A = this chain, B = another copy of it.
Amino acid sequence: MNALQLLDYAGVAVFAATGALAASRKELDIIGFVFFAAITGMGGGTVRDVVLNSPVFWTLKPAYVLVCVAVAIVVFFTAPMLESRYRLLLWLDAVGLAAYSVLGAALGLSVTGSPVVALVTGMMTATVGGIIRDVLAGEPSVLLRPEVYVTAALTGAAVYTALSYFGVDRAIAAGVGVLAAFLVRGGALRFGWSFPRYKSRPGRPPEEQE
């Protein structure tokens, strides 16, 4: 449980850092950094809790908010350094994605008992914060990028859910799930893994495609 909580705070912090970096790309002021850090760091968990009809986690433990504020301030003053380490940040983001996919699935499974719901809440917790960040920043959503991202979240949620559904100890299931999601996302970052994409037939007139 303690390890999971540590993962939780680490995930919030890493996602908050990506939100603050989006703010730096838009050249916002310090409050803009805090806002984007908070939305990206806590957005996915907020939607997860609302959908599961649970109290929203940061209304119970406001320390999460302070983590986002602290990260935003640090990034505001150190972003030139961080931007030149964007690749490092992508890897940290992969850690956050992996942790969140498992945490989301664990909460979904414990609240509803349904493996299908656990897959959805795992995918949601890991991706919604980044989606909101991209939409607010006016950047193309992570969903439209060619790289494997949602799939990595789904992998972590699926591995955790399958293992714990079949009786594996939950701490072990969590560890294996985080590792699996991180390997998929890491492989995408390192080797450019992607799935075959749908291709329209060429020569189709645009009005039919609308």
Binding site for B on A (CB under 8 A): 23-33, 35-36, 38, 46, 50-53, 55-56, 58-60, 62, 65-66, 76, 79-80, 83-84, 86, 108, 111-112, 114, 116-117, 119-120, 123, 131, 135-138, 140-141, 143-144, 148, 150-151, 154, 194-201, 204, 208-210
Contact = CB atoms under 8 A, between A and B. Distances in A.
A25 B209 contact: yes
Nearest to A121: B59
B86 A208 contact: yes
A207 to B, nearest CB: 9
A66 B17 CA distance: 34
A117 B80 CA distance: 31
18 contacts: A24-B198, A27-B200, A28-B144, A30-B195, A31-B195, A32-B143, A36-B143, A50-B50, A52-B56, A59-B111, A59-B117, A62-B114, A65-B120, A83-B208, A84-B208, A131-B136, A136-B141, A138-B141
A89 to B, nearest CB: 11
Contacts of A84: 208
B208 A80 contact: no
Given A86-B208, A135-B135, A209-B83, A27 B59 contact: no
